[in-house]
Amino acid sequence: MTKPTAAEPADPSPGLLARARRRASSTIALTVALGAVGFGYAAIAPSSAAADQTPSADAQRGQQIYQTACITCHGRNLQGVPDRGPSLIGVGEAATYFQVATGRMPAAAQGSQIPAKPPQYTEEQVNQIAGYVQSVGGGPQVPSGNLRDGDMALGGELFRLNCAQCHNFAGKGGALSSGKSAPGLGTSTDQVIYAAMLSGPENMPVFGDNNITPAEKRAIVSYVQTLKETKDPGGNGVGRLGPVPESIVLWVAGIGALMFAVLWIGAKS
């Protein structure tokens, strides 16, 4: 009597084979796609990394100045030092140029508002420091070229809408809250005005390119600088403040002269 043999396994169904083939093809396609992305990134990344690791000659000179004058407050890697100075990562060339070109940095002491003073560095050195900060931390940059090629009429409208409430309609500056003040624009260069709009120093808001376009920023610079260079058509006006305050000054001066004359006549008689 023969022993029963074990049942042989049945052949896999066609459906199982089809699903297995689909999984295998999907895995192969995903592997090929990831490999292509990896090869593409490897072809591009070395050149950009090399560029980041090799700063320009001006940035290298700016790094030397930074390590001498700025590292104590802002740190070796621009990360900032607690209770001394903020991080400079992301502030960009614009903020660095504004602060150093106006003499606000290096600061003699901390305070609610760092006053402007004669800069300690030449224009070339200021650009070198700004270039170094830009190369390490990135951020907004002041464009090169002519910054006054905008529409002056548009610039006047934008200035009155966005700037006059703090800087005065004539750009003479004015008082703010908490003992602060908006500086006058009488000695500000094109680059300083543009950098201030990009960086928003102290109480000033940041006017990014989404708020005020580069063309509109140039228009504002053109208006402010033309306003400074154009003589007041009314003669020796009171800071271009308009006929009403100028008339008040004349009225007060006239009343004062009249009172002096009355007192002088009374003393004589």
pLDDT digits (tens, 9 = 90+) for 123-140: 999 999 999 999 999 999
pTM confidence score:
0.69
Where along the chain do the CATH 1.10.760.10 domains lie? 57-141, 143-238
Residue ranges, the chain, pLDDT below 70: 1-18, 20, 37-54, 230-246
Provide CATH code, domain 143-238. Answer: 1.10.760.10
Spatial distance between the Cα atoms of 131 and 195, rounded to a whole number of angstroms: 14
Superfamily (CATH H level) for 57-141: Cytochrome c-like domain (1.10.760.10)
Quote the pLDDT of residue 117. 93
40-67 residues labelled b (16+ CB within 10 A) or e (exposed): eeeeeeeeeeeeeeebeebbebbbebbe
% residues pLDDT > 90 (the chain): 54
Q: What is the pLDDT of residues 13-29, one digit of tens each?
A: 666 666 767 777 777 77
- Amino acid 16: pLDDT: 65
pLDDT of 35: 74
pLDDT at position 60 is 94
